[in-house]
Structure 1
Amino acid sequence: MKQVRPKKNLGQHFLTDLNIAKRIADTVDACKDIPILEVGPGMGVLTQYLTEKQREVKVVEIDTESVEYLRENFPSLNDNIIGEDFLRMDLSGIFGGRRFVLTGNYPYDISSQIFFKMLDNKELIPCCTGMIQREVALRMASEPGNKAYGILSVLIQAWYDVEYLFTVDENVFNPPPKVKSAVIRMTRNDVTDLGCNESLFKRVVKTVFNQRRKMLRVSLRQIFPGKPSADAFFAHDIMTKRPEQLTINQFVELTNMVDKELCLQQDCP
């Protein structure tokens, strides 16, 4: 069968360097003895090395042309090729409720959405690896105090240890992207409970980073439906900081402060 034509609307950039493909496939070795789910296999350049791992492998591909190519060139994988949109899938039944490694050469325009879905299924996904845009990888791995530190950094690092593994140049893709890529690995940490309202934690993080140049005492005001019950709330030392200065533990502390203040306004029992 002829090769698959890369489609711009699907953000397809097919990796052509087999050495790099094998290096990416080997990143799943850190999470042994559990199945592997690959997102966006394309023509299977990564898949061919994953299937050598002697582990159950399934692939999810939205492009019908790629699905046809995979069925013809990977007949042993036929029953494990899922022609669906990963972002719309229920992951709980993929491997009968078992945990799995998530990996892939992720489409750049939806990589953040993929990782948010990973967070929503964090109890099923103890390890996630793969290739993404370098800029996004730097944000995910960034520490407090850096310009790259942001929403992805905090929400992911709250639950996963992030490793920036290596950079990949543009010239090993067809077609070459306009940016460099990077390979990352995320491994679940020991946190089972953040110690705060998790949905409010997400809201606080997104709210303050949407106005990242402003002090917290300014950006947080939009969370409250009315005037805070006491001016003392915004007098806390932490309120003079900007979001990139806060550690994850400080974001948990801040969330609990906001939660308490919201309860005061809403007369919580």
Structure 2
Amino acid sequence: METPERHRPKKFWGQHFLRDANLARKIVRSVTVPSPRLVVEIGPGEGILTERLLATCEHYVGVEIDRDLADRLEQRFGHLSHFRLLVQDVLEVSFTELVRQAGLPNAALVGNLPYNITSPILFKLFEANPPFQQAVFMVQKEVAQRMVAPPGNKTYGLLSVYCRLFARVELLFTVPPAVFFPPPQVQSAVVRLNFPSPLAARIQNRTLLDRVLHQAFQHRRKMLRNSLSPLLPSRLLSKLNIDLRLRPEQLSVEQWLDLTEQIQQLKNLDQGNGANSLSD
């Protein structure tokens, strides 16, 4: 039974609570990781997903920053042996440690992500190889479109590359503002990320890859010869086997991996020759 009590949403945490039970069931059905499984929920809020997720998993961990909401969740679900709640900022949580502690072979990450910290949460997930088999998120529709955007699309950017690098991403369905309280000013969408992506195994130097991508997309309208110039002197930049007139949004993930490998090889060769002329 849904609790009759209503929490006053806090704007500074970007709280918009889902109030549609049918949509909640549809989101939970989108989690297809087999049992036995751990489910980690980001921002359980009023518990509309929590109630249904608890019925589908062997172990549940919710991460809720709002103490008022956390108290209500504990009162409602605390009697369940497989329920655990962390009153914490999700950006400070170790996903890897949560999965390790659960000791289950399968794990999923679920959440109606606060729109003001969606990108930080996603990039946190991509900091290392995600320890989950799947993630199902509600996000702003514009963000969902960026997550699934192909190369050459106007919305293809840094987030698109990282999503394709670490996961196989699907935009499942859109969600209107009217199903939330308070209604947001934007449309939402539910996305599913399946881990791992076969491309992740190709990463040889993650630090360099991150640097190349951030440097390039920081100047996404510039040609590669300009956006990559802080990383390589011109005498080495010209040796790259790629059209330097291309712009960052025109390269596929495979091309970014290949480009990073080339940069690493040129760096090794240059240092081996004692020139030591590449930027640190």
TM-score calculated relative to the size of structure 2: 0.87
State yes or no: 1:70 paired with 2:70. no
SS in 2 for 1:240: coil
Distance 1:233 1:63, change over 3 A: same
CA–CA separation in structure 2 for the residues paired with 1:91 and 1:156: 17
CA shift for structure 1 position 144: 0.8
Name the counterpart of 1:105: 112
Do 2:171 and 2:190's aligned partners in 1 also have CA atoms closer than 8 Å?
Answer: yes
CA–CA separation in structure 2 for the residues paired with 1:10 and 1:122: 28
SS in 1 for 2:88: coil
CA–CA separation in structure 2 for the residues paired with 1:24 and 1:221: 45
Pick from 183, 187, 192 the counterpart of residue 194 of structure 2: 187
What is the RMSD computed on CA atoms of the aligned residues? 2.1
Do 2:38 and 2:57's aligned partners in 1 also have CA atoms closer than 8 Å?
Answer: no
CA–CA separation in structure 1 for the residues paired with 2:59 and 2:213: 37
Name the counterpart of 1:59: 62
Q: Superposition pairs for residues 223-262 of structure 1, below 5 Å?
A: 223-224=231-232, 227-230=233-236, 232-233=238-239, 236-262=241-267
Name the counterpart of 2:213: 205
CA–CA separation in structure 1 for the residues paired with 2:246 and 2:231: 17
Do 1:155 and 1:202's aligned partners in 2 also have CA atoms closer than 8 Å?
Answer: no
CA–CA separation in structure 1 for the residues paired with 2:264 and 2:192: 33
State yes or no: 1:149 paired with 2:192. no
Pick from 162, 168, 172 the counterpart of residue 175 of structure 2: 168
SS in 1 for 2:91: helix
Distance 1:230 1:104, change over 3 A: closer
Do 1:101 and 1:125's aligned partners in 2 also have CA atoms closer than 8 Å?
Answer: yes
Do 2:61 and 2:85's aligned partners in 1 also have CA atoms closer than 8 Å?
Answer: yes
State yes or no: 1:91 paired with 2:95. yes
TM-score calculated relative to the size of structure 1: 0.91
Q: Superposition pairs for residues 211-226 of structure 1, below 5 Å?
A: 211-224=219-232
CA–CA separation in structure 2 for the residues paired with 1:45 and 1:248: 37
Name the counterpart of 2:34: 32
CA–CA separation in structure 2 for the residues paired with 1:13 and 1:114: 17
State yes or no: 1:6 paired with 2:3. no
CA shift for structure 1 position 192: 5.0
Considering fraction of residues, name the structure with more helix.
1
CA shift for structure 1 position 8: 0.8
Do 1:229 and 1:264's aligned partners in 2 also have CA atoms closer than 8 Å?
Answer: no
Do 2:199 and 2:254's aligned partners in 1 also have CA atoms closer than 8 Å?
Answer: no
Aligned residues: 265
Percent of aligned pairs with the same residue?
A: 37
Pick from 19, 22, 29 the counterpart of residue 22 of structure 2: 19
Name the counterpart of 2:278: none
CA–CA separation in structure 2 for the residues paired with 1:161 and 1:231: 32
Tell me the amino acid that sits aligned with residue 61 of structure 2: K
Bigger drift between 189-198 and 211-220 goes to 189-198
Tell me the amino acid that sits aligned with residue 202 of structure 1: D
Unaligned 5+ segments in structure 1 are none
CA shift for structure 1 position 257: 2.1
CA shift for structure 1 position 110: 0.9
CA shift for structure 1 position 121: 4.4
